[in-house]
């Protein structure tokens, strides 16, 4: 994970320096869209509902070692709490966030892109807790799912 942390930090720091934090956020979000397009070709995602899609992508990220464990808690019909344990790029993400850049949590931007593409759902990240600075890492995000405007 040391190399991945360095790579994530370096790429997204360079983006923030070259184009500024707002455009760097767009780059992070676009990387999620590109990744979802690639995974959509490999994984059978077309028959899932929104929560099923989230769970399948989290399961995939566990299998490939992006994090040790992910968990979805459905609080209400449109509110979720996402738990990510020991994300491989945790240190790089925290460092970027602390420096004012948009944190490139690939789990988050990947799932947001999938929900938008497959179900026309926008997600509002209402809470981000990157957890402890030392392992074991445990990040928590709270999401509100909303149908896109005009949908």
The token pair that represents 134 in the structure block:
């030392």
Q: According to DSSP H, which parts of the chain are helical?
A: 2-42, 50-63, 90-98, 106-119
Query: Per-residue pLDDT tens for 110-148?
Result: 999 999 999 999 999 999 998 888 888 999 999 999 997
pLDDT at residue number 150: 60
Q: Return the closest-CA partner of residue 80 out of 121, 123, 47.
A: 123
Count of C-beta atoms within a 10 Å radius of residue 120:
13
Query: Per-residue pLDDT tens for 6-61?
Result: 999 999 999 999 999 999 999 999 999 999 999 998 998 877 899 999 999 999 99
3-state secondary structure of 56: helix
pLDDT at residue number 132: 85
Count of C-beta atoms within a 10 Å radius of residue 36:
24
Q: Which residues pair with 121 in a beta bridge?
A: 147
Q: Return the closest-CA partner of residue 67 out of 40, 92, 87.
A: 87
pTM (global) more than 0.85: yes
pLDDT at residue number 148: 79
In eight-state DSSP terms, residue 83 is E
Strands of the sheet containing 121-129, edge to edge, are 69-74, 79-85, 138-147, 121-129
Per-chain mean pLDDT for the chain:
93
Answer yes or no: are the C-beta atoms of 73 and 80 closer than 8 Å. yes
Q: Which residues pair with 70 in a beta bridge?
A: 84
């Amino acid at each position: 994970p040391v190399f991945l942390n360095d790579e994530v930090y370096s790429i997204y720091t360079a983006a923030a320096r070259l184009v500024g934090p707002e455009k760097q956020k767009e780059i992070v979000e676009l990387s999620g869209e590109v990744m979802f397009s690639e995974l959509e070709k490999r994984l059978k995602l077309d028959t899932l509902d929104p929560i099923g899609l989230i769970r399948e992508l989290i399961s995939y990220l566990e299998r490939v070692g992006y994090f040790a464990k992910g968990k979805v808690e459905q609080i209400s019909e449109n509110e979720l709490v996402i738990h990510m344990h020991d994300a491989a790029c945790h240190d790089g993400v925290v460092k970027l966030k602390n420096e004012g850049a948009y944190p490139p949590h690939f789990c988050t931007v990947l799932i947001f892109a999938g929900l938008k593409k497959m179900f026309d759902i926008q997600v509002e990240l209402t809470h981000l807790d990157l957890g402890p600075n030392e392992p074991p890492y445990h990040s928590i995000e709270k999401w509100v799912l909303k149908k896109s405007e005009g949908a």
